[in-house]
Structure 1
Amino acid sequence: MLRLLLTLLCLCVLPARAGFTDERPDLQSLFGGTPGCFVLYDLGADRLLLVNPERAQRRYIPASTFKLANSLIALETGAVHDADEVIPYGGRPQPFKAWEKDMPMREAFPVSSVPVYQEIARRIGLPRMQAMLRRLDYGNRRTGPAADRFWLDGPLQISAVEQARFAARLAQGSLPLSARSQSTVREIARVGSRDGSTLYGKTGWVFGTQPQIGWWVGWIEREGRVYGFALNIDMQGEQDIGRRTQIGEAILGKLELY
């Protein structure tokens, strides 16, 4: 009986057991009144840090953050040979001049070229896309009937918690995909390094909802550890584009990660 009591006492004082969740309402002030949430997933400790937990569990359309998964699926299925294969954009006028050119994933990913990634998705096709979404357990895993719109308009949706976990697994190379596919996507998702941390990420902007939704999803590598993160905020329009990374970097800075 004494041994059992001692064991229970030890379990009660463990600071961060597997699956531990840490809510941080104090970080909400960094949103400056903008509705939103932030998730940090410490992969090594299986520990979640949540700002606005209710919203962090709510699923939204992923928009261009799906380029992480789309790139992986393209490489894994052979729809695209590598990050340097040039993909045609289709020749139609685009909302951003940077999208009006044929380009490889290595270039299309950072400029977030929608037409190039729509062509990639059409090459993959709905049957293979649906199978890979199930394999990756990505959000609600739904595509609907259009192979090139489901991550822009729905029905595909994913939560910030799911995004952060997905990003951390990609960072570690533990998704159920080849090492080559994961390594290539990590390479094109790299943003930069400073103060001992390396940042990887992808933004997203959901146009067709009111309010619009802005995303920033990625991971930090620091001192041999991996931290997946995901942020989403309400946006009123193009004037709010910069707030996604501004708020995210302010939180990462407060946490002394970047």
Structure 2
Amino acid sequence: MYRSTLFICIALLSCLPAAAFAWEEDPNICALFKNAQIEGTFVLYDVSDHRLGGCNQTRAETRYNPASTFKIAHSLIGLSTDAVKSVDEVLPYKGPTEPFIPEWAHDMGLRKAIKISNVPIYQELARRIGLERMREGLATLQYGNQRTGDVVDRFWLDGPLKISALEQTRFLSGLVQGMLPLPKHVQESVREILLLEEGSDWKLYGKTGWQNAPGNGIGWLVGWVEKKEGMYVFALNIDINKPSDAAERIKLAKESLKLLGLL
């Protein structure tokens, strides 16, 4: 009964931003993208006041490969299936001798792996989970188009898995409230390892992603700001046309959050 209720809750939650709340376009946030000469979208969902808005609604509803932002859902699925016992259980590195990021080439747990976005470590986790349990996890979380294809350790990088910025905020709003149909301690563990930085009255949580790194592709930053008065979930994606555009993910997201008085 309890699990059924949770499934109903997340199903309702997934409909709320799109169906129940009108989109509020923010011209000041759009000006940030224009001034930076970056094509993209920013979505903010106020969990307490149920307000939804940002810049470029059409793009916010468009699905793209999640790239490394999938590590959030990936961690949840891995922990809830016992493919890994905790965020500190060490997973073996089985990637190339000279990876894209040299720091990847070590055995490590999810706590460290998510901080440096270690692709080979998460590929090992995916192989432990397996396609069947991964598909079940995606369906449980109602994550994007829920498609894995037949390659268990590449589908979030190359497709067919895709998700929109709006869907990212729906998914994360469930996580920040502990409303996903997964054990509470699993959700708490994943929230903990996503902390990026904090100020005097706020904490910023999140995960970057870069589809087709280090080449042209889609760049992501998704997460939330925790303040005393509430939770504010956000998702940003941009076109990356040159390597220097990657830095704009964090810059534009933080500028948008500051503009909204959240940082």
Within-5 A mapping of 1:13-162 = 19-31=21-33, 32-93=36-97, 94-162=99-167
Identical amino acids, percent of aligned pairs: 49
Distance 1:152 1:91, change over 3 A: closer
Checking the alignment, whether the CA contact within 8 Å between 1:61 and 1:151 is kept in structure 2 is yes
How many residue pairs match? The answer is 242
Indicate the residue corresponding to 1:206 in structure 2: 211
Q: Secondary structure at the match of 1:147?
A: coil
Structure 1 residue runs of 5 or longer lacking an equivalent are 1-16
CA distance in 2, matches of 1:159, 1:248: 16
- Residue 24 of structure 1 and its aligned partner are, at CA, apart by 1.2
Which residue, out of 248, 252, 255, partners 1:247? Answer: 252
- Residue 47 of structure 1 and its aligned partner are, at CA, apart by 1.8
Distance 1:147 1:91, change over 3 A: closer
Checking the alignment, whether the CA contact within 8 Å between 1:18 and 1:45 is kept in structure 2 is no
- Residue 26 of structure 1 and its aligned partner are, at CA, apart by 2.8
Letter in 1 for 2:162: Q
CA distance in 2, matches of 1:97, 1:209: 14
TM-superposition CA deviations, 1:44-75 (whole Å, max 9, x none): 22221120010000000000000000000000
Letter in 2 for 1:66: F
Structure 2 residue runs of 5 or longer lacking an equivalent are 1-18
- Residue 91 of structure 1 and its aligned partner are, at CA, apart by 4.9
CA distance in 2, matches of 1:105, 1:65: 14
Indicate the residue corresponding to 2:189 in structure 1: 184
TM-superposition CA deviations, 1:119-158 (whole Å, max 9, x none): 0011000000001101100000000000000000000000
CA distance in 2, matches of 1:41, 1:76: 26
TM-superposition CA deviations, 1:153-209 (whole Å, max 9, x none): 000000000101211211111111100110000010011211311110000000179
Indicate the residue corresponding to 2:240 in structure 1: 235
- Residue 20 of structure 1 and its aligned partner are, at CA, apart by 3.3
Distance 1:62 1:91, change over 3 A: closer
Q: Normalized against structure 2, the TM-score is what?
A: 0.89
CA distance in 1, matches of 2:31, 2:261: 17
Letter in 1 for 2:87: A
CA distance in 2, matches of 1:100, 1:245: 25
Indicate the residue corresponding to 1:166 in structure 2: 171
Greater Cα shift, 43-52 or 134-143:
43-52
- Residue 210 of structure 1 and its aligned partner are, at CA, apart by 8.1
TM-superposition CA deviations, 1:9-28 (whole Å, max 9, x none): xxxxxxxx952321113311
Q: Secondary structure at the match of 2:37?
A: coil
CA distance in 2, matches of 1:66, 1:231: 14
Q: Normalized against structure 1, the TM-score is what?
A: 0.90
Checking the alignment, whether the CA contact within 8 Å between 2:89 and 2:110 is kept in structure 1 is yes
Q: Give the aligned CA root-mean-square deviation in angstroms.
A: 1.6
Indicate the residue corresponding to 2:16 in structure 1: none
Letter in 2 for 1:86: V
CA distance in 1, matches of 2:187, 2:229: 18
Letter in 1 for 2:262: L
Larger Rg: 1
Checking the alignment, whether the CA contact within 8 Å between 2:64 and 2:163 is kept in structure 1 is yes
CA distance in 1, matches of 2:87, 2:214: 32
